[in-house]
């Protein structure tokens, strides 16, 4: 006699996995859109688990149904019709929800594997159906659900293919840039007539709008510039006109409009790469989605009127849940489809400047409601509702990760010995380090400051030489502009990774010296602190993203921690009790104690102390303004050297400031295809710069 647990498993295994599969589909439908707005592990880890479990649960359930066909017991024969019906629902589940097709960008490269998997699973479902074809009372509803399952699974496979690098490269491939070859290099930038993006796209006489843009105008321009992003991801050559168009347009924008448009572009890119939007939003996609929905509805009606005699009541209930669940999820997907940015793009009119047009008013109203701007000032909302509304309005996480070298030393210094032993034994250092990472809000003031600095840089790039200088700057221009030539060695004579860590430590040493009395100095002081800890987080915790510029930053970081530990050990000093006191005491100790490394160590503490000492000699506002501008330079340098594909990989994790800065630099015209010679030459040409042009 079989054990009781074995009997229980045989009776409920398939039913449990059917319910689990439907639950995972529901979870993915509602939670997947949230990951582009937050970088918290409370969203990403459950979502990653559900993404992996969804395919596994559906595949496992199909296998259970297929194996049960060989069981000749009376019970198995009796419910064979229902199991064949269920197998088609599992195909629908394997097709996945519209809100997520790929968890990571690398999943798109596995489209061929998914194609083979689709063929195998469809054949398995067809095999189960054919096994029960004789005398199957549910064969007609099963055929309708089989059609729906094949459509859903095909949509997912095609979405993965469209988002793959090979397809992106083919879709953006173009012939030689004849416009660049024919361009008269003696013409200055001011003499070039730049076509407006909307006029260029639609052939209308719409001028580049002045002032604050409406939501519809932002969407229309974002849709046009979206093609530039796709080209940059695969390093395709841009047309000659594209750098000019985006440059002229963004130089006339406010920081708010510029960042809003960039958020829209990145949202379009996210949906194109990670969801089914590229397949659904076309005429053929609409037809397939209509057929899929009608098939499920017809299957429900036929099953309702079919005799249920011989079926277990619980199995009939599960079948109704599957049918109603499929219809509800399709209706939710339809609702998301109607109110998506892509639907608005499909409805865009040729002239968005006519604010009196009824169509324009309706579209602007829908977009304003969607962004939450229509109800931007609700009357005394509760804190929870206000927080939810602000979260849903985001185009990205709107936060900065913070990581601090001296703060990290204090963090590990405060660990108990047994905790450190556990971390060492189980190799949990990386997990422990990530727990130290803090996240702070990306303020509007910091946004405006970064935009102002980048616009100032772009506006001075009026020839090839200045464009290349702006593109390659790591702070030299700021120091020369401020007249601090004694600080130039800290950026000119050291590698980027060493310079970044040096300025990070120097910023922390100056920051711990106390608050500033001047309001402007306090503002720049906070900017410097936020950007310093953010950039240090990138080079230490985001090595895949920063691989092109990180260099030996991690080794420098480890060595600097060891030197810091030795300083306190040799001087027999404790670093205080509260976290703030510990930070201040540590900085003062490092700044006042001589550090001898004999030139053998990778530690930058000695250079950082000297740099901090020189910075302290400056005035309050001058010191912090210089440092904050240096950090914008270091940020833009790193952003321009991380490839477009690398930036696209960050979109499924809530996005990152470095990605927004990269795209802003692209639009401002001095960043794009790495250090592509042709791209730099296509920016500007002034009389007398022919020799410089040829030498780039």
Q: CA-CA distance, 660 to 238, in Å (whole number)?
A: 19
Query: Facing residues of 564 across strands?
Result: none
Write b or e for each residue in 290-316: b if 16 or more Cβ atoms lie within 10 A of its Cβ, otherwise e.
Answer: eebbebbbbbbebbeeeeeeebeeebe
240 pLDDT above the threshold of 60: no
Where would I find the beta strands (DSSP E) of 403-478?
A: 438-441
pLDDT band at 372 (very low <50, low <70, confident <90, very high): low
Q: Is the pLDDT of residue 211 over 70?
A: no
Task: Round to whole Å and give the CA distance between 30 and 305.
Answer: 32
Tokens of 36: 């582009």
584 or 536: which carries more pLDDT confidence? 536
Measured CA distances, 560 to 240, 409, 420 (Å) = 47, 9, 19
| Residue 98 or residue 543, greater confidence | 98
Residue 586 tokens read as: 């540590």
Domain ranges across the chain: 4-169+276-341, 399-695
- Of residues 537 and 204, more confidence is placed in 537
Query: Token pair of 222, please?
Result: 């974002």
- Angle, in degrees to the nearest 10, between helices 620-641 and 605-616: 140
The pLDDT-based confidence of 171 (bands split at 50, 70, 90) is confident
Contact 605, 560 (CB under 8 A): yes
Kindly compute the dihedral angle of the four CA atoms of residues 167, 168, 170, 172, in this order, to the nearest 10 degrees: 160
Q: At CA 589, angle to CA 587 and CA 592, rounded to 5? A: 105
Q: Name the band, by pLDDT with cuts 50, 70 and 90, for residue 93.
A: very high
Q: Is 439 helix (H, G, I), strand (E, B) or coil?
A: strand
Helices (H) and strands (E) in the chain, counts: 36, 2
Tokens read off for 456: 């100032």
Rounded to whole angstroms, the Cα distance separating 231 from 295 reads: 38
| Position 652 pLDDT exceeds 80 | yes
Q: What is the pLDDT of residue 148?
A: 97
Residue 378 has pLDDT above 60, yes or no: no
Burial class (CB in 10 A: 0-12, 13-18, 19+), 11: exposed
The DSSP code for 652 is G
Higher model confidence: residue 473 or residue 255?
Answer: 255
Take residue 672 and report the two structure tokens written for it.
Answer: 């794009």
Higher pLDDT, 244 or 687: 244
Instruction: For residue range 488-514, list pLDDT tens digits in order.
Output: 999 988 999 999 999 999 999 999 887
Question: Collapsing DSSP states into helix, strand and coil, what is residue 131?
Answer: helix
Residue-wise pLDDT tens digits, 299-320: 999 999 998 888 889 999 999 9
N-term to C-term CA, the chain: 84
Rounded Cα distance between 7 and 531, Å, is 61
Helices (H), 183-282: 197-202, 215-233, 241-251, 255-274, 277-280
CB atoms within 10 A of CB 45: 10
Task: Decide if pLDDT at 108 tops 80.
Answer: yes
Element (H, E) at 466: helix 464-472
Q: Is the pTM of this model over 0.85?
A: yes
C-alpha to C-alpha distance for 35 and 270, rounded to whole angstroms: 11
User: Residue 186: pLDDT band by 50, 70, 90 thresholds?
Assistant: very low
Q: Which of 604, 429, 587, 601 is nearest to 510 (CA)?
A: 587
Residue 443: CB atoms within 10 Å: 14
Q: CA angle at residue 30 from 24 to 34, to 5 degrees?
A: 120
Contact 603, 645 (CB under 8 A): no
Residue tagged 């940015």 (tokens): 341
Mean pLDDT of 553-572: 82
H/E element, 641: helix 620-641
Which residue do the tokens 């990760």 mark?
A: 401
- Report pLDDT for 31: 94
Q: Nearest 5°: phi and psi at 256?
A: -65, -50
Across residues 287-304, what is the average pLDDT? 96
Matching residue, tokens 């100032």: 456
Rg (CA), the chain: 30
Sign of CA dihedral 25, 394, 271, 454: negative
**Mean pLDDT of the 178-186 span:** 36
Count CB neighbours of 177 within 10 A: 16
Query: pLDDT band at 151, cuts 50/70/90?
Result: very high
CA distances from 27 to 51, 96, 151, 191, 319 (A): 10, 11, 21, 56, 19
pLDDT over threshold 70, residue 111: yes
* Proportion of the chain above pLDDT 90, given as a percent: 45
pLDDT at 691: 38
The whole-number pLDDT of residue 241 equals 56
Distance CA 508, CA 519 (A): 19
56-66, pLDDT tens digit by residue?
999 999 999 98
| Sequence-ordered list of residues with C-beta below 8 angstroms from that of 210, at least 6 positions apart, any chain | 252
Report the range of poorest mean pLDDT among 173-177, 290-294, 419-423: 173-177
On whether the CB atoms of residues 644 and 229 are closer than 8 A, the answer is: yes
Residues β-bridged to residue 399:
441
Any idea how long the chain is? 696
The three-class DSSP label of residue 684 is coil
Residue-wise pLDDT for 212-237, tens only, equals: 677 788 888 888 888 888 888 887 76
Written as six digits, the tokens of 444 are 């509007």
Looking up tokens 């795209």, which residue turns up?
663
Cα–Cα–Cα angle for 241, 244, 247, rounded to 5 degrees: 145
CA distance 288 to 292: 6
Burial class (CB in 10 A: 0-12, 13-18, 19+), 44: middle
- For the segment 634-645, the average pLDDT, to the nearest whole number, is 91
Asked if the model's pLDDT at residue 675 lies above 50, the reply is no
In this prediction, residue 572 carries a pLDDT of 61
| H/E run at residue 438 | strand 438-441
Tell me what pLDDT residue 470 has: 72
Helices (H), 132-196: 139-162, 165-171, 178-182
Average pLDDT over the chain, rounded to whole?
81
Q: What is the dihedral of CA 145, 147, 150, 153, to 10 degrees?
A: -60
Q: Residues with Cβ < 8 Å from 694, sequence gap 6 or more?
A: none
323 - beta bridge partners?
none
Q: What is the pLDDT of residues 432-444, one digit of tens each?
A: 888 889 999 999 9
- Confidence band for 196, pLDDT divided at 50, 70 and 90: very low
What H or E segment, with its residue span, contains residue 440? strand 438-441
pLDDT at 205 over 50: no
Q: What mean pLDDT is predicted for residues 584-599?
A: 73
Q: Which residues lie below 8 Å from residue 46, measured CB to CB, with a gap of 6+? A: 27, 31
Average pLDDT on 406-422 reads 85
10 Å CB burial of residue 271 (0-12, 13-18, 19+) is: buried
Beta strand ranges found along 355-435 (DSSP E):
399-402
Return the structure tokens found at 607: 């250079």
Per-residue confidence (pLDDT) for residue 78, from 0 to 100: 55
**If you average pLDDT over residues 156-167, what whole number do you get?**
94
Q: Report the pLDDT averaged over residues 231-253.
A: 75
Indicate whether 71 pLDDT > 60. Answer: no
Query: How much is the pLDDT for 391?
Result: 67
| Residue 353 pLDDT level (bands cut at 50, 70, 90) | low
Query: In the structure, what pLDDT confidence band is assigned to residue 210 with cuts at 50, 70 and 90?
Result: low
Which pLDDT belongs to residue 595? 64
């Amino acid at each position: 006699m079989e054990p009781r647990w074995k009997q229980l498993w045989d009776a409920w295994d398939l039913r449990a996995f059917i319910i689990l599969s439907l639950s995972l589909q529901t979870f993915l439908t509602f939670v997947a859109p949230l990951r582009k707005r937050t970088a918290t592990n409370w969203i990403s880890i459950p979502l990653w688990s559900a993404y992996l479990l969804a395919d596994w649960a559906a595949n496992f359930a199909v296998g259970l149904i297929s194996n049960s066909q060989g069981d000749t017991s009376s019970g198995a024969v009796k419910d064979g019709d229902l199991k064949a019906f269920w197998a088609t629902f599992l195909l629908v589940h394997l097709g996945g929800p519209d809100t997520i097709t790929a968890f990571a960008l690398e999943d798109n490269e596995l489209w061929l594997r998914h194609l083979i998997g689709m063929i195998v699973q469809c054949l398995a479902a067809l095999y189960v159906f054919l096994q029960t074809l004789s005398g199957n009372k549910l064969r007609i509803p099963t055929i309708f659900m089989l059609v729906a399952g094949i459509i859903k699974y095909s949509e997912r496979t095609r979405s993965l293919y469209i988002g793959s690098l090979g397809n992106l490269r083919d879709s953006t491939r173009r012939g030689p840039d004849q416009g660049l070859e024919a361009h008269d290099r003696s013409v200055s930038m001011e003499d070039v007539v730049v076509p407006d993006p909307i006029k260029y796209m639609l052939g209308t006489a719409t001028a580049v709008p002045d002032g604050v843009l409406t939501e519809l105008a932002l969407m229309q321009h974002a849709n046009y510039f979206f093609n530039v992003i796709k080209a940059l991801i695969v390093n395709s050559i841009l047309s000659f006109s594209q750098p000019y168009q985006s440059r002229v347009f963004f130089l006339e924008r406010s920081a708010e409009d510029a960042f809003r448009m960039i958020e829209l572009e990145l949202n379009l890119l996210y949906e194109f790469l990670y969801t089914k939007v590229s397949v659904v939003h076309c005429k053929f996609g609409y037809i397939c989605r209509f057929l899929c929905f009608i098939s499920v509805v017809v299957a429900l009606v036929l099953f309702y009127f079919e005799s249920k005699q011989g079926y277990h009541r619980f199995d009939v209930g599960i079948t109704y849940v599957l049918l109603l669940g499929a219809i509800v999820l399709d209706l939710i997907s339809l609702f998301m489809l109607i109110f998506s940015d892509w639907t608005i793009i499909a409805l865009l009119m040729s002239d968005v400047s006519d604010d009196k047009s009824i169509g324009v008013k309706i579209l602007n109203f829908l977009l304003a409601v969607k962004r939450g701007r229509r109800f931007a000032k609700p009357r005394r909302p509760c804190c929870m509702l206000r927080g939810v509304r602000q979260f849903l309005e985001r185009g990205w996480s709107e936060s900065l990760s913070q990581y601090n070298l001296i703060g990290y030393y204090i963090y590990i210094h405060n660990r108990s010995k047994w905790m450190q032993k556990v971390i060492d034994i189980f190799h949990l250092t990386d997990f422990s380090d990530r727990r130290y990472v803090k996240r702070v809000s990306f303020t509007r003031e910091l946004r405006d400051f970064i935009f102002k600095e980048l616009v100032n840089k772009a506006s001075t790039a009026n020839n090839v030489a200045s464009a290349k200088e702006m593109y390659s700057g790591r702070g030299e221009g700021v120091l020369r502009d401020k007249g601090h030539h004694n600080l130039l060695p800290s950026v000119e004579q050291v590698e980027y990774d060493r310079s970044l860590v040096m300025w990070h430590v120097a910023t922390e040493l100056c920051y711990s010296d106390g608050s500033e009395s001047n309001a402007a100095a306090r503002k720049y002081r906070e900017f410097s602190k936020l950007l310093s800890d953010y950039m240090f987080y990138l080079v230490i915790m985001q090595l895949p993203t920063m691989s092109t510029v990180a260099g030996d930053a991690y080794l420098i970081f480890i060595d600097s921690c060891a030197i810091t530990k030795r300083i306190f050990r040799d001087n027999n000093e404790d670093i205080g009790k509260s976290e703030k006191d510990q930070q201040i005491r540590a900085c003062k100790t490092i700044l006042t104690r001589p550090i001898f490394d004999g030139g053998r160590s990778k530690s930058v503490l000695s250079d950082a102390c000297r740099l901090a000492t020189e910075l302290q000699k400056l005035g309050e506002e001058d010191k912090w303004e210089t440092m904050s501008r240096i950090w914008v330079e270091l940020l833009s340098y790193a952003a321009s050297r991380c490839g477009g594909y690398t930036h696209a990989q960050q979109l499924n994790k809530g996005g990152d400031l470095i990605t927004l800065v990269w795209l802003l630099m692209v639009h401002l015209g001095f960043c794009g295809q790495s250090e592509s010679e042709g791209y730099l030459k296509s920016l500007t040409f002034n009389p007398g710069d022919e020799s410089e042009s040829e030498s780039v």
